[in-house]
Structure 1
């Protein structure tokens, strides 16, 4: 039986766009009608797709290009939220999709939110709860019964032990290991290569083996430079 693909638009023309498109193309579930970006020139071609306009003109673009859903392809956690909020302010019922690479493994009883991007080789083991607008880079391993808060990011090669909780807006960066049953607070960043053996509070930067708190962090502080 033939199913017509849904038309979608991608919000963000930066570094995360290329692999997001790769995932979407490999999934084969959606037809990308264009990119909405605040910086790239309208009409520019990015990885074979046209920049069709600005976010503030969404209500016009949705009619002109006939899309009914979208995905935010931006790496910074707080900026993803800002884009989401601006979209919903214009179109309260706008629908967001997930982009999950075909090689992603999703176990039994996993609860997946919306607006999620998961790159090749990610594993979500049974009982995990994955929040909205979260991001998972290549090979991230989310063990059983983990809870990932909205707008959080888990980078490539990172392993979360069972029953780990990651707070909203937090970022666990490259090749980090988090021991079972720990909590990483909201807006906390764990530096690359760290071993987390104790829970971390909200609003800190921590790294090392074992990870130690280095400094505090402000709300909306970027972790991607």
Structure 2
């Protein structure tokens, strides 16, 4: 599997892959100053000989940048899925290409994860949640049952979203927020959101 992104998030993705014994064929980044990521040498993207014979994970935490890289690699590329061996992912969920679930995260039954979603370290996604493409659920964030999160949104570290809440597209939920109401497209909220 190829990893695109050699910064901090790339390290965590590599760790998750290694926890499953998945072979890493190469690590790539646009930043030519990055020479290694953990013990892997980093190459610039144009050094990939042929990416059609291997899968990718885009290991970039920023939702906008992750989507731009996806568009650049092309829709014909094959994307893997990474679920850390210490994550708790129920058998009755559905996830799409590029999804990454980190250590100690929990994803409960009836949940649907879109493309290139990040469920980060110790995050909780309870039953029947609908998570759109390119969403990032940050470390220790909690989505109670039936929450919907629109494409490109960030649910910040340590935040809590109460049951049945709908978060629109391209929203930012600040770290530590408690979300008690629906959040409109493009909205940034923090603190107690009511």
Residues 52-71 of structure 1 correspond to what in structure 2 (within 5 A)?
Answer: 52-54=43-45, 56=46, 58=48, 61-62=49-50, 67-71=53-57
CA distance in 1, matches of 2:92, 2:102: 20
Name stretches of at least 5 consecutive residues in structure 2 with no aligned partner.
none
Aligned to 1:25: 18
Aligned to 2:138: 155
Q: Residue 41 of structure 1: CA displacement?
A: 4.3
Q: Residue 67 of structure 1: CA displacement?
A: 4.8
Matched, 1:172 2:155: yes
Aligned to 1:3: none
Q: Residue 109 of structure 1: CA displacement?
A: 2.1
**Partners of 2:7 and 2:37 within 8 A in 1:** no
Q: Which runs of 4+ in 1 moved over 4 A?
A: none
Name stretches of at least 5 consecutive residues in structure 1 with no aligned partner.
1-7, 213-225
Aligned to 1:10: 3
Secondary structure of 2:12 counterpart: helix
TM-score by length of 1: 0.81
Matched, 1:47 2:38: yes
CA distance in 2, matches of 1:53, 1:195: 40
CA distance in 1, matches of 2:169, 2:129: 15
Aligned alpha-carbon RMSD (Å): 1.7
Deviations 1:163-195 (A, max 9, x none): 100010000001111111110110000111111
TM-score by length of 2: 0.94
Moved more, 169-178 or 66-75: 66-75
**Partners of 1:9 and 1:67 within 8 A in 2:** no
CA distance in 1, matches of 2:32, 2:10: 12
